[in-house]
């Protein structure tokens, strides 16, 4: 899987994946133009969006109406290193569910792909000006 990030001046970067584009920027008070969410907001939003998706799928499987479903996120920053230190997600379902459904729903929410990618941290490699990929046709 692959996506790309392109600089567009100031503190704006566009993330492109397939036919989709997301604009990131910084707030005006941090030198940006507030043209989009900051990368940190996008990170937390990605987590909340993934939880929402998993909860929505759970509701669909169990015939629980999810009209009005929302996930609210709050986070705090931490230092040493500078990072998102904690995230609190609140799932709001417009309908009552049983205690058993609640337990299962929360288990499903914790299993979302983004949450699991944070819980079991991926390896991240960063290179500068990597060589172009090897083209098998040019080798023959």
- pLDDT, one tens digit per residue, over 90-113 is 999 988 999 999 999 999 999 999
Is the pLDDT confidence value at 138 over 60?
A: no
* Of residues 133 and 63, more confidently modeled: 63
- pLDDT, one tens digit per residue, over 3-13 is 999 999 999 99
DSSP secondary structure letters along 12-31: -EEEEETTEEEEE---GGGT
Distance CA 23, CA 15 (A): 6
Q: Which two tokens stand for residue 21?
A: 């584009």
Distance CA 22, CA 20 (A): 7
Q: What percent of the chain has pLDDT over 90?
A: 89
| 6: β partners | 14
| Mean predicted lDDT score pLDDT of the chain | 94
Is this structure's pTM higher than 0.85? yes
Is the pLDDT confidence value at 54 over 70?
A: yes
Q: How confident is the model at residue 135 (pLDDT cuts 50, 70, 90)?
A: low
């Amino acid at each position: 899987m692959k996506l790309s990030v392109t600089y567009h001046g100031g503190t704006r970067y566009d993330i492109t994946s397939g036919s989709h584009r997301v604009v990131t920027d910084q707030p005006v008070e941090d030198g940006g133009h507030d043209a989009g969410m900051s990368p940190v907001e996008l990170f937390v939003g990605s987590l909340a969006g993934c939880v929402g998706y998993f909860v929505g799928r759970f509701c669909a499987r169990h015939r629980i109406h999810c009209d009005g479903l929302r996930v609210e996120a709050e986070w705090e920053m931490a230092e040493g290193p500078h990072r998102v230190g904690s995230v609190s997600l609140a799932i709001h379902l417009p309908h009552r569910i049983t205690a058993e459904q609640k337990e299962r729903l929360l288990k499903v929410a914790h299993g979302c792909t983004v949450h699991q990618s944070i819980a079991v941290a991926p390896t991240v490699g960063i290179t500068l000006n990597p060589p172009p990929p090897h083209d098998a046709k040019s080798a023959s």
